[in-house]
Amino acid sequence: MEVSYNILVVDDDAFMRDACHQTLTKHGHTVSLAKSGSAGLALLEKWSFDLILLDLKMPGEDGLFVLARIKDLDPDAIVVMISGYGSIETAVQAIKLGAFDFIAKPFTPDELLELVNRVLKNRQLTIENLHLRQRLKQEPRDTEIISQSIAMEKVKEMIAMVASTDSTVLIQGKSGTGKGLVAQRIHEMSHRRGHPFISVDCGSLVRTLFESELFGHVKGAFTGADSTQYGKFEMAHGGSLFFDEISNINLEVQAKLLKAVEDKCISKVGDHKVIKVDVRLISATNRNLQEAIARRLFREDLFFRLNVVSIHLPPLKDRKEDISLLIDHFLKVSRRKQGKTINGLSPNAMKALMEYSWPGNVRELENMIERLVVFARSKTITSEDLVYSNTMLSNALAREPHRLDEMERVHIIKVLEYTEGNKSQAARLLGIDRKTLRIKLNKYQIPTASNNQAEI
């Protein structure tokens, strides 16, 4: 997919302006034209451009004067000088004043496109490097959707159908059902996959800085704004922007987000200039947005803008056919991560996990499997390991018969938890001496902390 950029051409030659306009718009760019330096500066007062093509010799203000004024208005502006009077000295002077490059008239459409693509690729690399530095701080993520249930097959069909479009998507479902995974999968199957997928965690951002995070800010916009910064919209240009838990955005920012969605334009905090952006919006929520609308916590007009295509993710308890597949997948991941050999789960342990209600959904299952791998005492995870990992499973396991030694181990663990690890007190409550407790601790491989505990 070719990314659309906003380009300004400042040239007193009408033929040159028209030629640049035809060549660049044919390749999807938005082009504004100015026949004088003053007209170009007037446009720069209102709009932010990804690239400015500036003629060196014009009546009135010449190109070098206009270049200096542009850099006063926007030090980060990318300017390429064009002239039929080119010389090495003039090129060097222009570059010293802040021009990115220099091209001499006459030039062919192919030469213009080669120059524009090279300059804009350099700009895009700057933004993508910023995105990459943020991604390196995060864990790599597998975007494969593991499922065999009918409910999830319908979801995967919807993903495949919507991915090929540019439609705005709203993903709804309880926490832990995989909304972020679905959003990333939509992006990776779309024509935007070669461009950034930027995620905004609406639940963790500081409310007072939310607008700056979305739209960016200019130097001096507020206390602590020591430099001009890109916002999430600019970082996602050409790609997809994912709002995770969008219901957490306050009404003031919702109004500005609505305008950005409708106009495909934003303005940095502290600046009135308009920046055109080309992003695909994907949002997710675990709340009923229509209830939030009724309570005046969410804008109805924004909801309709975001809810063009709706995908609902079922909770794990409604897709139990997927549990065994997910367990196998998470076991493989955790085995690699922990460097341990775990062959699988015992029949009783698997049955307990299948009957559990999973209030935390797939995320809870993933976390539990990792804990089980960490604390497993053998190559097979047993129901005894489940109780040690999650006491909420006790009810599911209580219906199953257990060996006497399994029940004894679980009881000792519970007593140690009650005594906060005091082994002498635990031995008294269990009705055994300290030596016997020590033998049982070793036999059952029960980990205990040594700090602030009476020694046996």
Could you report the per-residue pLDDT of 203-241, keeping only the tens digit for each?
877 777 888 999 999 888 888 788 888 899 999 999 999
What was the pLDDT predicted at 456?
40
Which domain range does residue 99 map to?
6-132
> Same structural domain for residues 433 and 342?
yes
> Same structural domain for residues 295 and 169?
yes
User: Which residues, at least 6 apart from 452, have a Cβ–Cβ distance to it below 8 Å?
Assistant: 421
130 pLDDT tier (thresholds 50, 70, 90): low
> Same structural domain for residues 192 and 286?
yes
HEC per residue, 61-100:
CCHHHHHHHHHHHCCCCCEEEEECCCCHHHHHHHHHCCCC
**Residue 143 covered by a domain:** no
Could you report the per-residue pLDDT of 299-355, keeping only the tens digit for each?
999 999 999 999 999 999 999 999 999 999 999 999 988 888 888 998 888 888 888
> Same structural domain for residues 169 and 93?
no
- Phi, then psi, of 204 in degrees rounded to 5: -110, -15
Least confident window among 291-300, 421-430, 442-451: 442-451
Looking at 314, 347, 378, the residue that finishes a domain is: 314
What was the pLDDT predicted at 183?
97
> Same structural domain for residues 183 and 262?
yes
Q: The domain that contains 72 carries what CATH number?
A: 3.40.50.2300
**Residue 455 covered by a domain:** no
> Same structural domain for residues 389 and 266?
no
> Same structural domain for residues 165 and 66?
no
What was the pLDDT predicted at 132?
66
74 pLDDT tier (thresholds 50, 70, 90): confident
> Same structural domain for residues 167 and 277?
yes
**Residue 453 covered by a domain:** no
Distance, CA of 14 to CA of 47 (rounded, Å): 22
Q: Which residues of 148-158 are buried (b: 16+ CB within 10 A; e: fewer)?
A: ebeebeebeeb
**Residue 142 covered by a domain:** no
What was the pLDDT predicted at 263?
92
